[in-house]
Amino acid sequence: MLGFALMIASFFFIGRRLMEMQGDLNLSVLTHPGLLIPLLLLGLGEGIVLMLAALNYRGLVANISGIKVKTRTAMRVYAVSNLYKYIPSGVMYVLGRNRMAIETKGLSHGKVALATLAEGIFLVLAAVILTSVYSFDYFIDYIRQFKLPPWIIFTFAAMTGVLIFFRRYLQPAVDYISLHPVMIVKRLVCALVIVSLWGISFAAALLIMGQPLTFGLGASVAGLFILSWLAGYLTPGAPSGIGIREVVLFTFMGGVLDDGILLSTIVIHRALQVAGDIAAYGIALGYGYLGKDN
């Protein structure tokens, strides 16, 4: 319920900003081939990154269970279950992965569930690391603007969030998942690459939309996008973090970037991610028909 309420509140915020800035919105790229084609390629890239995540998840299942899932099965099930994230509560998004256990001999539902839990932990750790690395200077400047009471509240809220996350997600993993240290490093590196590509994708969309970016500013943008993804990912009840992610993006980047370009990019990039989810499903089906049975 909390996530749903936050999502509704976010919609009101976004709707108000859209009405205030409707004259600044630039959606003409949808009819401009010179910009539309790069954006469509970016959407396809989102689908390819999702398939890389599917292969990483397949490896994680193998690490935990000792059983290799067929590549075509892993890609298809991962792509289909990924579409379930748009259903409120996120339950179907998690349960959809268990189709792998049904289609793979000897693989238990428990091991698949543990792999899903482990994947979430690795993605969250990767997001925290990358946000800190990419946007450290930005956050220091932003925090300096806080007066003492808000800073105390922010610190308390952050510590509480970390404790809740550990109790809910990390503790079960520590107790029940046994992975070799080399495998842990390997999966974390894969998560770092995947999450980095998500952040770079948003920075690339801003460039295509006409926002000038230096290397340092581009890194901060990527880090802040990853932060917004993390906020949406950890908010229960918000389908695909919709609304939450957009508010975080505009809160941190508004005023730093051109507001019209930023808002237009936020809207278009969300559409590109949906297109990427659909493209991933198409890639998985295509591999199923053309790929080897491994």
Q: What is the pLDDT of residues 123-160, one digit of tens each?
A: 988 898 888 878 766 665 655 555 545 545 555 555 56
Tell me the β-bridge partners of 254: 257
Give the span between the Cα atoms of 229 and 180, in whole angstroms: 28
The fraction of the chain above a pLDDT of 70, given in percent, is: 68
Residue 270 burial (10 A CB sphere; 0-12, 13-18, 19+): middle
Using the predicted structure, report yes or no on whether residue 2 has a pLDDT greater than 50.
no
Mean pLDDT, rounded, for 161-178: 54
Measuring CA to CA, which residue among 124, 137, 114, 143 is closest to residue 229? 124
Q: List the single range of 90-99, 103-112, 192-201 with lowest mean pLDDT.
A: 90-99
Residue 88 sits at φ, ψ, to 5 deg, of -55, 145
Q: How many CB atoms lie within 10 A of CB 102?
A: 11
Measuring CA to CA, which residue among 192, 46, 50, 197 is closest to residue 133? 192
Per-residue tokens: 188: 């974390």
The answer to whether 226 and 131 are in contact (CB under 8 A) is yes
What is the model's pLDDT at position 289? 77
Residue 267 sits at φ, ψ, to 5 deg, of -65, -50
The answer to whether 97 and 116 are in contact (CB under 8 A) is yes
The answer to whether 86 and 239 are in contact (CB under 8 A) is yes
- The three-class DSSP label of residue 254 is strand
Per-residue model confidence as pLDDT tens digits over 106-121: 888 888 888 888 898 8
The answer to whether 68 and 293 are in contact (CB under 8 A) is no
CA angle centred on 284, ends 197 and 276, rounded to 5°: 40
Using the predicted structure, report yes or no on whether residue 10 has a pLDDT greater than 70.
no
- The three-class DSSP label of residue 36 is helix
pLDDT band at 236 (very low <50, low <70, confident <90, very high): low
pLDDT band at 15 (very low <50, low <70, confident <90, very high): low
What is the model's pLDDT at position 196? 93
Tell me the β-bridge partners of 257: 254
* Sequence letter at residue 35: L
- Tell me how many helices (H) and strands (E) the chain has: 12, 0
- Domain spans of the chain, in order of start: 25-290
Q: How many CB atoms lie within 10 A of CB 139?
A: 17
Measuring CA to CA, which residue among 105, 119, 103, 102 is closest to residue 61? 119
